[in-house]
Amino acid sequence: MGKILNSGYGAIFGTYWIIYAVVSSFASVFMLAKGYTNSQIGITLAAANVLAVVMQPLIADFVDRSKRLDVIGTTTIMTVCMMIFTIGMLTFKGGSLGLCVVFVLLIAFHTVLQPLFNSLAFRLEEAGVSINFGIARSVGSLAYSIFCAVFGTIVDHLGINVMPAASELSCLLLIASLAFTGYYFRKGKALQGKAKNTEPVAVGKQEDGHTAEGTAEEIEKEIEEEINLVQFIRRNKMFFIMNLGVLGLFFSNAVLNNYMAQICTGVGGTTEDMGRILGVMAFLEIPTMVFFKQLRGRFSCQFLLKVAAIGFTVKIAICWIANSVVLLYIGQLFQPVSFALFLPGMVYFSDEMMSRGEAVKGQALYTTMITITTIFATLLGGVILDGSGPKMLTFVSTLLSAAGALVVILAVDKVKSNK
């Protein structure tokens, strides 16, 4: 049962990232071919991220409160909605507001799915099996890598009209993966029973000298509610300053993810080159994510985060000076020591330095910073591309990444442990 559920969870992530490739990574390719300017594309992508920020807490609250729909049911319905939105890619004319709305809805709904799928791991463990999130996430990167490399060639030869069909097919595969996983989850949970751990657990001495007791879920909820985000920032000023550096680092990441088509074209590349570069980028993430625990055993999180901050800057700097597609490929060789190192590094760093409730807030702050800089990067990126071209965009990204790296390097060692 454990292998089956892990396989199903991996299939969910695999199909999720294939959809991401179609509706997000190749969005610029589709919209440019439909007559939109880079500024209009930037506004569309930014609006999608803003809508996702609004939707995420609402959907999460709905899933927590709903007695009829669980995570699998909710995500299945959202995927069906995405299939309906995809029809608009064929029905609305290029340059129309309607097609922009279609992409806003597609990207927003897809973005909201990610935290739900992250939390799904814990729900699946109710069936009495251990879910390996790292391996499942790596399956997503592998699927994205292979798909981008192949899909770029297909679009280059057959045109953008294959994109709606690819979106519909990948959504169908996601629905099938959800149905498969849901079936075996319910089967495993029935065998496991609905018994929950209600034994009292001690969490230390209170100020009055008594030991706090209660169920694990009650205590965790109590700890999280004791600290709101404003209080968290006041207690963790250096961690907040460090996260300001994240704004600079992930600006370049958002630019490469959303405007790689324009960057490739600027050095004489094609859509086929763009797909292969994104494929290489994703493929190189896998070893670092799979073996991060081993790296963590040899190096501190502070050191790994410093290395990743430098890696971000070197990668975008190479893209800036690139005068050929070959150099763009070389720049992606720093993906294992940039994004792939920073993402799990922040998770472990927050867990090490903070109490359980604070660690949750730390992850929320980190995610918020990434969302903010993605909105900013897509808006400003489109304007810069229309006004000055891809060279100026990668130059600005390099400066912001260098500034972000400097902030992270100076602040990370000064973050105090509150455990």
DSSP calls for 288-321 = HHHTHHHHHHHS-HHHHHHHHHHHHHHHHHHHHH
Share of the chain above pLDDT 70, in %: 90
Tokens of 363: 């992850």
Confidence tier at 357 by pLDDT (50, 70, 90): low
Give Cβ neighbours of residue 229 (< 8 Å, ≥ 6 apart): 361, 364, 365
Q: What's the DSSP call for residue 417?
A: P
Distance between CA atoms of residues 320 and 393, nearest Å: 8
Distance between CA atoms of residues 83 and 117, nearest Å: 18
> What mean pLDDT value characterizes the chain?
87
What is the model's pLDDT at position 202?
47
Distance between CA atoms of residues 183 and 72, nearest Å: 10
Cα–Cα nearest to 393, from 256, 278, 271: 256
Going 237 to 242 to 248 to 250, the CA torsion angle's sign is negative
Cα–Cα nearest to 250, from 180, 322, 313: 313
Tokens of 130: 């251990």
- Tens-digit pLDDT profile for residues 208-263: 444 444 444 544 454 444 556 677 788 888 999 999 999 999 999 999 999 999 99
Give Cβ neighbours of residue 187 (< 8 Å, ≥ 6 apart): 1, 127
Distance between CA atoms of residues 21 and 140, nearest Å: 11
How many H helices and E strands in the chain?
18, 0
Q: Which domains are assigned to the chain?
A: 1-191 (1.20.1250.20), 227-419 (1.20.1250.20)
Task: Find out whether 25 and 152 touch, Cβ atoms under 8 Å.
Answer: no
- Tens-digit pLDDT profile for residues 271-311: 999 999 999 999 998 999 888 888 988 999 999 999 999 99
* pTM score of the predicted model: 0.81
DSSP calls for 41-97 = HHHHHHHHHHHHHHHHHHHHHHHHH-SS--HHHHHHHHHHHHHHHHHHHHHSPTT-H
- Tens-digit pLDDT profile for residues 170-217: 999 999 999 999 998 888 877 776 555 544 544 444 444 444 444 445
Distance between CA atoms of residues 286 and 135, nearest Å: 9
Cα–Cα nearest to 260, from 28, 19, 23: 28
Q: 264 or 219, which is more confident?
A: 264
Tokens of 169: 């097919």
Give the Å distances, CA to CA, from 60 to 69, 118, 400, 402. 12, 12, 33, 35
pLDDT above 80 (res 393): yes
Least confident segment among 153-157, 196-200, 399-403: 196-200
